[in-house]
Amino acid sequence: MDTLAFPRTHYLNAEYGLKSWLLTTDHKRIGLLFLGAISLFFILGGIFAGLIRLELLTPPGDLVSDDTYNKLFTMHGIVMVFMFLIPSIPAVMGNFFVPIMIGARDLAFPRLNLLSWYIFMTGGLFTLYAIVTGGVDTGWTFYTPFSTLSSHSNVMTAAIGIFIIGFSSILTGLNFIVTIHTMRAPGMTWFRMPLFLWAMYATSLINVLATPVLAITIFAVALERALHMGIFDPAYGGDPVLFQHLFWFYSHPAVYIMILPAMGVVSEVIAAFSRKSIFGYKFVAFSSLAIAVFGFLVWGHHMFVAGMSVYGAMIFSVLSFLVAVPSAVKVFNWTATLYKGSISYQTPMLYALGFIGLFTIGGLTGLFLASLGVDVHVTDTYFVVAHFHYIMVGGAIMGYLGGLHYWWPKMTGRMYPDMWGRVAAVVTFLGFNLTFFPQFVLGYMGMPRRYHAYPPEFQALNVLSTAGASIMGIGYLIPAIYLLWSLKYGAIAGNNPWGAKGLEWEIPSPPPTFNFDKTPVVTEPAYAYETREK
Amino acid sequence: MHDDKTASPYEPALKHHFDDLGQQHEAAMLGMWLFLGTELLFFGGLFTAYMLYRVWYPETFGAASRTLDITLGAVNTMVLITSSLTMALAVHAAATDERRKLMAFLAATMVLGAVFLGIKGIEYHHKFVEHHIPGFGFQFEGPAPERANLFFSLYFAMTGLHALHMIIGLGIMTVMLIMAWRGRFSARWHTPIEISGLYWHFVDIVWIFLFPLLYLVDRHR
Ligand SMILES: [Cu+2]
């Protein structure tokens, strides 16, 4: 272990003042700018979720009106999907660690990277404006013709916000792909790259190729709303189902924008805390690409009941089953990595193990939904809600928190109290399951989503779910407290507190502005844990 | 590729985080190609919608398409193809370090781009006079007039987006012209000219697809 002294100069104290942050082109500082922004949005989205769960504590719609409830779940979805989950791991940890992990001094386009943050904030402010001036009630999916003809809420402003935010993820994705292609240090071949980078690469491909389709679709909705152009309007012969095709052409791959980065984090953490190289490295690497490619071919499974030919539905069903294969490859390979590893259960590892469990449940219930008959039964019920929360909260957010805890010492130079970290991970895991497992049952029993009232026989399970949500909220609150605490009082981390492999652990914590004094030369594959220990 | 930065001679155009101009050039080119991939899918959504409705409503789309001015459209196509030629010549002039030629070809490209936008403006004006703009007192004589709204919605969305890209292109060309005037480019380094060229050609190619789809689709009758 290196000497545990705080480095004298590093990226955080290289310059001072607000201007040095707002005009920075340092990928690490931009990562922190994103961290600050998305943390605020996460709290906002969480408040909406809390209000939803509070309303659903009792069968009648007594806390908020039906209109308000529509706005609550819409804004919960918009904020969490577009302003937290999509940027989360790529914009924070990707920004911070993609250049460091390949041995580069910065991303290929540092100014574009800063622009990406400003675009994100501009879009975010538009959406916030839509929220404070009355909200949106279309659901995060903006389905036409409701969004274009009927809704009297702030659809335009929110749509403009999401349109703008899209360009932020496009530019970030573009930056990552170019960086990984052109800026790898000598010896850092493709198959020596940490799997987190493969995940970032695959995610970025989706960002670059899917996001523009969402942008143009939202643009068409805006035109239709503002100028009564009729691209999706049945009165002109337009087809609302075309909107759904275009929307899900983005929004299914968007699920992989959220989950692939989390899978990348899990690969890093599992290797580091079981002191083994990832079993079947190439399979895990290529499964990221396979998920990115197959993810583009399955969007129709969101529309089995929206009017689709039987054969179309069958093809989308089969393809949706196929996309489960590369996901399963990852889960099996992680499990095989754990086998006979010297495992230590520190905080990041608990999150990673939690991810594997919850993602597996989310993935398997996805197969129920990809089956045509079952899907018809549970479409638009809480079964679907539970399924995608297992993926997006149980998967993506567990991965996000795991990564944050894994790299926090590197980003800040300080350790957090590991005991509290473990407590929070366990509390989050239990609270999560208590929140969402009952929703599988509710959905299967027939409780539809997006209603603020329900028959009394569903109350018991809803009370469980709301109780779970409170526990989960505490699980998120604890890290917020000790991570902030650690900034000042945490023990000094040193270069490599976990004894992990990877270029990021060979430089000081926090790293200097240009990461490396000298361009590193890579001589061994990623996760060469066995060779060191022998 | 990644030698120690201090070992290479001082290059004013080299950014600190790249090792050499070759790497910097490679990154910029790849970045532009990826951006064009994004653009392709951006237009792709509208192309998909157009194809679908064109197959569903061939009569209306044919009738609406025949109201477009094929002469102006054809002239504009020629103008744009010529501007692609002058752009290619500009890139060549940059590569051979001929500053005056570079500036002349950039200016020619801009003039042709402006001519295109002018002609497009005239066409839009005709459409306005004929009440063919959806949302502005739209009227159409012919089969299923409400579906003609669909055609013109897509016509204005697609050509409007294309025109927006042309306007951005003119802005880029202005910057390139100023940089060329200040002597920023050399045979060794003229990456901005090259990637601007890629962008310009892409915008031209979009029009090469728009013209037959919107103007020619029903002219065989
Ligand atoms: Cu899906």
Task: Specify the pLDDT at position A2.
Answer: 45
The string of DSSP codes covering A482-523 is: HHHHHHHHSPB--S-TT---SGGGGS-SSPPTTS-SS-----
Is the pLDDT confidence value at B5 over 60?
no
Give the residue on A whose Cα is nearest the Cα of B23.
A182
Is the pLDDT confidence value at B9 over 60?
no
Q: With contact defined as beta carbons under 8 Å apart, do A221 and A243 qualify?
A: yes
Identify all chain B residues contacting A182, using CB atoms and an 8 Å cutoff.
23, 26-27, 30
Torsion sign, CA atoms A166, A240, A79, A347: negative
- Name the average pLDDT for chain B: 90
**Distance from residue A295's CA to the centre of ligand 1 (Å):** 8
Task: Specify the pLDDT at position A143.
Answer: 93
Chain A 488-507, CB below 8 Å of chain B: which residues? none
Give the residue on B whose Cα is nearest the Cα of A171.
B35
Task: Specify the pLDDT at position A3.
Answer: 53
Task: Specify the pLDDT at position B6.
Answer: 46
- Of A294, A370, A360, which Cα lies nearest the Cα of A331? A360
**Distance from residue A172's CA to the centre of ligand 1 (Å):** 23
Mean pLDDT over B82-94 rounds to 97
Structure tokens at A287: 């499964």
Which residues sit opposite A448 in a β-bridge?
A: A381
Each residue's pLDDT tens digit, B169-209: 999 999 999 999 999 999 989 999 999 999 999 999 999 99
The pTM for the full model equals: 0.94
Is residue A282 within 8 angstroms of chain B, CB to CB? Answer: no
Task: Specify the pLDDT at position B12.
Answer: 75
State the burial class of residue A78 (Cβ atoms within 10 Å of its Cβ: 0-12, 13-18, 19+).
Answer: buried
So what's the ipTM on this one? 0.91
Q: Could you give the 3-state DSSP secondary structure of residue A448?
A: strand
For B150, the closest of A219, A223, A237 (CB atoms) is A237
Task: Specify the pLDDT at position A338.
Answer: 95
Q: With contact defined as beta carbons under 8 Å apart, do A371 and A314 qualify?
A: no
Please state the three-class secondary structure of A168-234 as a single string. Answer: HHHHHHHHHHHHHHHCCCCCCCHHHCCHHHHHHHHHHHHHHHHHHHHHHHHHHHHHHHHHCCCCCCH
Task: Specify the pLDDT at position A531.
Answer: 66
Q: With contact defined as beta carbons under 8 Å apart, do A163 and A237 qualify?
A: no
Chain A 219-248, CB below 8 Å of chain B: which residues? 219-220, 223-224, 226-231, 235-239, 242, 246
- Of A422, A436, A430, A410, which Cα lies nearest the Cα of A490? A410
Burial A147-175 (b: 16+ CB within 10 A, else e): bbbebebbbbbbbbbbbbbbbbbbbbbbb
Q: How far is B39 from chain A (nearest CA, A)?
A: 7
- Cβ contact A229–B134 (<8 Å): yes
Each residue's pLDDT tens digit, B14-52: 888 888 888 999 999 999 999 999 999 999 999 999 999
Tens place of pLDDT for every residue, chain A, 534 residues?
445 778 888 999 988 899 999 999 999 999 999 999 999 999 999 999 999 999 999 999 999 999 999 999 999 999 999 999 999 999 999 999 999 999 999 999 999 999 999 999 999 999 999 999 999 999 999 998 899 888 888 999 999 999 999 999 999 999 999 999 999 999 999 999 999 999 999 999 999 999 999 999 999 999 888 888 888 988 888 899 999 999 999 999 999 999 999 999 999 999 999 999 999 999 999 999 999 999 999 999 999 998 889 999 999 999 999 999 999 999 999 999 999 999 999 999 999 999 999 999 999 999 999 999 999 999 999 999 999 999 999 999 999 999 999 999 999 999 999 999 999 999 999 999 999 999 999 999 999 999 999 999 999 999 999 999 999 999 999 999 999 999 999 999 999 999 999 999 999 999 999 999 899 999 999 999 876 544
The dihedrals phi and psi of A500, each to the nearest 5 degrees, come to -95, 160
Cis peptide bond prior to A510, omega within 30° of 0 = yes
Give the residue on B whose Cα is nearest the Cα of A99.
B17
**Distance from residue A213's CA to the centre of ligand 1 (Å):** 16
Is residue B30 within 8 angstroms of chain A, CB to CB? Answer: yes
How many CB pairs lie under 8 A apart between chains A and B? 124
Structure tokens at A493: 């981390």
Q: Which amino acid is at B39?
A: E
What is the CATH topology of the domain spanning A27-533?
Cytochrome C Oxidase; Chain A (1.20.210)
Structure tokens at B95: 């590569």
Chain A 141-180, CB below 8 Å of chain B: which residues? 170, 174-175, 177-179
Structure tokens at A166: 């899209």
Domains along chain B with CATH numbers: 21-216 (1.20.120.80)
Structure tokens at A26: 């340092």
Question: Any idea what the Cα angle at residue A438 is, between residues A433 and A440, rounded to 5°?
Answer: 100
Q: With contact defined as beta carbons under 8 Å apart, do B219 and B70 qualify?
A: yes
B-interface mutation test, from A178, A188, A223, A247, most B Cβ less than 10 A away: A178
